[in-house]
C-alpha cells in the first residue's frame, strides 16, 4: 500500500489531498486502476497523458503528472495530482522508496537464457516458506521492474525480480532500483550480440547486476562459464557440472515428463521441466533456498507445485502428437539446448524440430544459423524451418528438411502430418510461432494427409 507520505518523497508539488492508501500503481488505462496511482508514460508513438480521462474512469485516485504537460482544465473529476519533472523517473524513484519501506529480501536474476525459468523455480521453492512476490510474465525492464516492486504486498518477505536488457547500462539501472540481496547470472549466451558485439561485452553488461548488491549480499552464478570465473569482492556460490563448484550437478536423467538430478552426491531432486539445462536452473534455486534456510523436502515440494511462465517449454498433447512450445525467444545457445533435449528424449514418436529466425545477432546472423543447422543430429527425424534467416539452418542430407517462407505455409504442412510426432517449436519472439501452435490447436491436429 502506498501512502501520501511515500509520494511526497518524490515531489511536494501536489494538487489535492489523498485521504487513503493506494493499493497499487498502473500505467495501462486498459486495465482496472481502482484506488491506484496512474503514471502516464511517454513513448515514441504514445503519450499516457492523453488518456487521463480513461484513467479516472478506470478508478485512478492519483496521478504523477509531468510538469511540461498542461493538465486538462475541462475535467469535472480530478485525481490527486503529483507534479513531477519526468514520469518515468518518478516511477523508478517511487519504486526505490517502496522497496526500502517494505524491505523484503530481494533476489535479482539475469542471464542470456533461462532467467524466466530460474525465476519461476526460485519463486516456487520459496513461496511455501516465505510470503513471496515475483515478476509476472516478462515485466523485467526499466518499466516492468519498478511496477513489479510497487505492486508487491506490504507484507512481502521475498521479492524475486527478473532483469532483462539489450544494451550496456540497463542492468545497472535495474540493480540500483532493486538493490538485490542475492544476485544471479544464469549464463552468458549470444542474445543481443548485435548491440554488445562480443560475449565478453555481454558478460560485462550482465555483471552490472552487482552494482546494486546490498552489503553482505551473495552472488550465485554459472561456474561453467569461463567469462564469469574471476575473483569477486562479494560472497559467491558457483553452480555447474564441474567438480570444483560449490553446487555440482550430477546424475541428470531427462524424460518426457521432467528432469531429475543430484547435487554434491546428496539429495536427489525432480523438476517438471525437460532438459539438462533446467537442472542447472533448478540448482540455482536450491542454492538460494539453502542460503535462506529452506530444507530439501520443502524445496522438492516447491518444485512439485511449480507454476511455469507461458511458452517456456510448455508440453501439451494434441491428437496423436506431443507439442513442445519453447517459442518465447531464442538464441544459438538456447536453440542448441532444445536440439539436445529432442535428440536425447526416448519416444516412439517422430521427432520434428520447428525452428525460426533468431534475432539481434548482427553481422553473424547467417553464421549462427548455420551453426545451429550443423548441430542438429540424426536423432531428429524431420527439420522444419521458417523465416528469412532460418533458411541458413541446414543439416546433412540424412535428415529430411523443409523450409517455409511464412507461418501460414508451415501451418498447412503441419496440419497434414498423420504420423504421431513430437513437435518442438523455437524461434525469437518476433517470429510469433505460438500462432502456428494455436492454428494446430484449432485444428486439434486431427487432419490426416499422409505425411
The annotated binding site for ATP is made up of 111-117
Residues 6 or more apart in contact with residue 54 via CB below 8 angstroms: 29
Burial of residue 367 (number of CB atoms within 10 Å: 0-12, 13-18, 19+): exposed
Lookup: cell for 174 = 535495474
Annotated binding site: 111-117
Q: Record the cell numbers describing residue 259, joined without a space.
A: 528432469
> 264-271 long-range CB contacts below 8 Å, 24 or more apart?
266/296, 267/296, 267/300, 269/296, 269/299, 269/300, 269/303, 270/300, 270/303, 270/304, 271/121, 271/303, 271/306
**Gap between the terminal Cα atoms of the chain:** 58
- Strands, sheet with 182-185, edge to edge from the N-terminal-most edge strand: 132-134, 158-162, 105-110, 182-185, 218-222, 235-240, 247-254, 259-263, 268-271
DSSP lists the bridge partners of residue 250 as 262
Helix axes 332-344, 365-375, angle to 10 degrees: 10
Residue 87 to residues 75, 147, 389, 420, 434, Cα–Cα distance (Å): 21, 13, 39, 54, 34
Amino acid at each position: 500500500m502506498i501512502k501520501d507520505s511515500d509520494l511526497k518523497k518524490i515531489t511536494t508539488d501536489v494538487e489535492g489531498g489523498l485521504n487513503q492508501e493506494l493499493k497499487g500503481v498502473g500505467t495501462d488505462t486498459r486495465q482496472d486502476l481502482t484506488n491506484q496511482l496512474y503514471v502516464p508514460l511517454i513513448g515514441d508513438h504514445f503519450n499516457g497523458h492523453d488518456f487521463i480521462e480513461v484513467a479516472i474512469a478506470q478508478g485512478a485516485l492519483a496521478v504523477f503528472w509531468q510538469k511540461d504537460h498542461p493538465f486538462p482544465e475541462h475535467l469535472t473529476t480530478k485525481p490527486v495530482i503529483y507534479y513531477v519533472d519526468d514520469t518515468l523517473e518518478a516511477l523508478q524513484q517511487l519504486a526505490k522508496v517502496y522497496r526500502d519501506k517494505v524491505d523484503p529480501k530481494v533476489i535479482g536474476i539475469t542471464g542470456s537464457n533461462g532467467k524466466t525459468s530460474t525465476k519461476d523455480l526460485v519463486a516456487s521453492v520459496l513461496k511455501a516458506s516465505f510470503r513471496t512476490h515475483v515478476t509476472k510474465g516478462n515485466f523485467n525492464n526499466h518499466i516492468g521492474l519498478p511496477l513489479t516492486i510497487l505492486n508487491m504486498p506490504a507484507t512481502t518477505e521475498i521479492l524475486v525480480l527478473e532483469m532483462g536488457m539489450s544494451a550496456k547500462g540497463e542492468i545497472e539501472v535495474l540493480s540500483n532500483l532493486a538493490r538485490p540481496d542475492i544476485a544471479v547470472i544464469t549464463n552468458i549466451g549470444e542474445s543481443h550480440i548485435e548491440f554488445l558485439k562480443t560475449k565478453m561485452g555481454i558478460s560485462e553488461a550482465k555483471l552490472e547486476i552487482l552494482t546494486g548488491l546490498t552489503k553482505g549480499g551473495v552472488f550465485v552464478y554459472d561456474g561453467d562459464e569461463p567469462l564469469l570465473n574471476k575473483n569477486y569482492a562479494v560472497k559467491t556460490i558457483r553452480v555447474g557440472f564441474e567438480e570444483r563448484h560449490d553446487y555440482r550437478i550430477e546424475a541428470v536423467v531427462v524424460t518426457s515428463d521432467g528432469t531429475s538430478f543430484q547435487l554434491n552426491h546428496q539429495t536427489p531432486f525432480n523438476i517438471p521441466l525437460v532438459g539438462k539445462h533446467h537442472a542447472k536452473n533448478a540448482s540455482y534455486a536450491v542454492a538460494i533456498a539453502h542460503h535462506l534456510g529452506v530444507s530439501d523436502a520443502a524445496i522438492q515440494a516447491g518444485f512439485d507445485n511449480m507454476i511455469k511462465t507461458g511458452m517456456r517449454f510448455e508440453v501439451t498433447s494434441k491428437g496423436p502428437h506431443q507439442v513442445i512450445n519453447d517459442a518465447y525467444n531464442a538464441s544459438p545457445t538456447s536453440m542448441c539446448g532444445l536440439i539436445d533435449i529432442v535428440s536425447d528424449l526416448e519416444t516412439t514418436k517422430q521427432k520434428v524440430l520447428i525452428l525460426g529466425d533468431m534475432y539481434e545477432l548482427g553481422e553473424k546472423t547467417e553464421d549462427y544459423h548455420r551453426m545451429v543447422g550443423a548441430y542438429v543430429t540424426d536423432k531428429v527425424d524431420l527439420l522444419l524451418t521458417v523465416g528469412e534467416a532460418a533458411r541458413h539452418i541446414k543439416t546433412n542430407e540424412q535428415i529430411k528438411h523443409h523450409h517455409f517462407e511464412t507461418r501460414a505455409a508451415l501451418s498447412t504442412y503441419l496440419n497434414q502430418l498423420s504420423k504421431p510426432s513430437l513437435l518442438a517449436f523455437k524461434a525469437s519472439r518476433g517470429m510469433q510461432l505460438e500462432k502456428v501452435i494455436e492454428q494446430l490447436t484449432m485444428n486439434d491436429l486431427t487432419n490426416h494427409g499422409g505425411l
